[in-house]
Structure 1
Amino acid sequence: MARPELLKHFSINLDLALEAHEAIRGQVQREIPGVAMEKLQKPHATVTIVTVLDAQGEQLMGKPPGKYITIEAPDIREGNRLVQAEIARVFADQLKSLLSLGPDATVLLVGLGNWKATPDALGPRVINSVLVTRHLFHYAPQELAGGMRPVCALAPGVLGITGIETAEIIRGVVDRVKPNAVICIDALAAGSAMRIGTTIQLADTGISPGSGLGHKRQGLNQETLGVPVIAIGIPTVCHAAVIAGEAIDKLLEQFQTSPTLYQIYKNLNPAMIQQIINEVLHPFAGNLVMTPKDIDDLISECARIVAGGLNLALHPGIPEQEAFSYLH
């Protein structure tokens, strides 16, 4: 079954712009009009910058015009602190490329997600660890090191816990605090199991919380909040239909290597494969997502990298070797 058909049949949205680009690029077998891509090799990471340039690119990609930076770093899973520090530096450099702020600009960090559900707890975990300083500028300026910026943070929870739309809470805080920029951190849904906990996306287009799992929530962007919004996300779950489709694809690849099995392969049709996946996922109405067994440790490692990178990017006065010592 072709990947675009699988995604469309199960109404799976691709949170990662890189995956959306790969899916469309593989379908049309040519460069995508209105979209530019650049790839950079960094220590322990590959950085891919996908830029949606215009309305045509937006229509094809299904994402608003803007810059989407993807950091692919499989070594995140290794738990090596030195490697994680290198990845955090790469992350910080890419975040700074999206920000255009003066040294005294106030930044609001928002940790989206449900702290009671581990795969969705990335945002709150980052907020628990990142360095916040806005209150010190008001009450204890003598405690500040040079080169620190006013940073405040909150984890507003989810609609099911608070009974309030997340966007409503954030708009209220923005109206009161009046930050120069908002940075949202959220868990994403991957279009491939291999990207869980190994990929970081940054985007200057804001975010629609829960869109990867088909949840319709109010968007958080410059249009709704009135200030620039940077979105940071790491995939923590993957749709079961995607995993099943990948497994079938691997099996069919083996069929093609055998003359006997190749005849079976030729007689298969996408509708048959689709029906098989439908039957397997029927108890969950096709709406089943998977997460690794060690997701708690993985969330902690990812939160540490993001929080350390945020410290580096937002507080230029902190020496790189000390960025992680400020984590709560």
Structure 2
Amino acid sequence: MNQIRTDLAIEVHEMLTEAATELSGVTVHKEQKHNAHISRVKIESLRAQHQMGKPIGNYITVEFPDVNIAEGEDYENLCRTVAEELSALLPLQKHNTVLVVGLGNQNITPDALGPNVVSKLMVTRHLLQYIPDQIGEGIRPVCAISPGVLGITGMETGEVIRGVTDKIHPDAVIVVDALAARSMDRISTTIQLCDTGISPGAGVGNNRKELNKSSLGVPVIAIGVPTVIDAATIATDTLQMATQKEKNSKLCQELAAMDRDEQYTLLKEALPETLNGFMVTPKDVDLFIERVAKVVANGINLALHKNITFQDIAAYTS
């Protein structure tokens, strides 16, 4: 299997299945919850870790039909679904402190998911320190940071986060970042949660030091949303659609005889060197980032602060 870029565990599993690769140590469970389709991938062995290219752990994908959901019952159900899945991955004690990290570059829209999520969180650690009598029951200490990117700050993200965790001693860290996907259908309609941490920039081939339990000393939950897709992957999808429509064409018949990996390799080699690594994002990515950041942020808010309502969140963050 060629290294088609994707950060989604469910897509890696789909590619291996399509290639008829024998998989052991990987279980997949799917269900429908509210208006979302849930896929749970569990990697349980070192062999599976090597095949999947992802650490042993749990990967949950929440797929929803319409990113334009911004309010109403469907929107609230989606937020609750994210909260429920996050709570299952991260069991916390009543007074545990949680640090939320929003990775990415605020100045580049497809990479601005993390900072946008942080701006919509109920940050309460300082309130519980200074005015605890005025804070309601069920509110836990939550703090947040958007560390920026190496090219702007001159500091590795891992260095910044390690310094913060060493100082404030959170009981858990939640990291939010933009991801890359293999399928165009999953751009802007998918949220992945996992308990294995994250390697910032991995989706676009810009690997930095991993943020996980080993590096930070506490459980690290990663939440990501695919915002970009490799140009060669889009071309491959287009090629497959064309071969299905033009079945009488000799050229299309020859292309149809090739599997997806062979088509991807052909297109990758045909792309000029200047376009290698070229990533594509939807034209309305600014609107999508704003809306999906709200879903992720409120999923985190509902998971961390018990018994709060959407009205409580709106009152706090407005």
Per the shorter chain, which TM-score range?
over 0.9
Q: Does 1:267 find its partner at 2:254?
A: yes
Contact 2:117-2:297 at 8 Å conserved across structures: yes
Alpha-carbon spacing, 1:272–1:326, altered in 2? closer, same or farther (3 Å):
closer
Summarize the alignment of residues 211-230 of structure 1 with structure 2, pairs less than 5 Å apart.
211-230=202-221
For 2:265 and 2:165, the matched residues in 1 are separated by: 46
Q: Which runs of 5+ in 1 are unaligned?
A: none
Q: How far 1:81 moved relative to its partner?
A: 4.0
Q: How far 1:324 moved relative to its partner?
A: 4.4
Q: How far 1:49 moved relative to its partner?
A: 0.3
Q: Does 1:106 find its partner at 2:93?
A: no
Equivalent position of 2:26 in the other structure: 35
Residue of 47, 66, 76 corresponding to 1:56: 47
Q: Does 1:193 find its partner at 2:155?
A: no
Q: How far 1:274 moved relative to its partner?
A: 4.2
Equivalent position of 2:155 in the other structure: 164
Q: How far 1:142 moved relative to its partner?
A: 2.1
Equivalent position of 2:11 in the other structure: 19
Alpha-carbon spacing, 1:272–1:308, altered in 2? closer, same or farther (3 Å):
closer
Equivalent position of 1:318 in the other structure: 308
For 1:55 and 1:104, the matched residues in 2 are separated by: 35
For 1:216 and 1:306, the matched residues in 2 are separated by: 24
Q: How far 1:78 moved relative to its partner?
A: 4.2
Residue of 139, 143, 146 corresponding to 1:148: 139
Alpha-carbon spacing, 1:308–1:19, altered in 2? closer, same or farther (3 Å):
same
Range that drifts further, 92-101 or 269-278: 269-278
Contact 1:205-1:229 at 8 Å conserved across structures: yes
Residue of 276, 284, 305 corresponding to 1:286: 276
Residue of 217, 235, 238 corresponding to 1:247: 238
TM-score (norm 1): 0.91
Q: How far 1:317 moved relative to its partner?
A: 3.0
Q: Which runs of 5+ in 2 are unaligned?
A: none
Alpha-carbon spacing, 1:273–1:235, altered in 2? closer, same or farther (3 Å):
closer
Equivalent position of 1:118 in the other structure: 109
Q: Does 1:307 find its partner at 2:294?
A: no
Residue of 38, 42, 45 corresponding to 2:36: 45
For 2:127 and 2:110, the matched residues in 1 are separated by: 32
Alpha-carbon spacing, 1:272–1:57, altered in 2? closer, same or farther (3 Å):
closer
Alpha-carbon spacing, 1:243–1:219, altered in 2? closer, same or farther (3 Å):
same
Contact 1:76-1:84 at 8 Å conserved across structures: no
Contact 1:19-1:191 at 8 Å conserved across structures: yes
Give the root-mean-square deviation of aligned CA atoms: 1.8
Contact 1:75-1:83 at 8 Å conserved across structures: no
Q: Does 1:134 find its partner at 2:121?
A: no
Partner AA of 1:162 in structure 2: T
Q: How far 1:282 moved relative to its partner?
A: 1.1
What CA deviation, in whole Å up to 9, does each residue of 1:5-43 have, x standing for no partner? 4xx3xxx4320001001001111166x211011111011
Equivalent position of 1:296 in the other structure: 286
For 2:121 and 2:182, the matched residues in 1 are separated by: 28
Equivalent position of 1:202 in the other structure: 193
Partner AA of 2:188 in structure 1: G
The share of aligned pairs that are identical, in percent, is 45
Number of residue pairs matched by the alignment: 314
Equivalent position of 1:93 in the other structure: 84
What CA deviation, in whole Å up to 9, does each residue of 1:110-139 have, x standing for no partner? 000000111100000011110010001111
What CA deviation, in whole Å up to 9, does each residue of 1:163-185 have, x standing for no partner? 00000000000000000000000
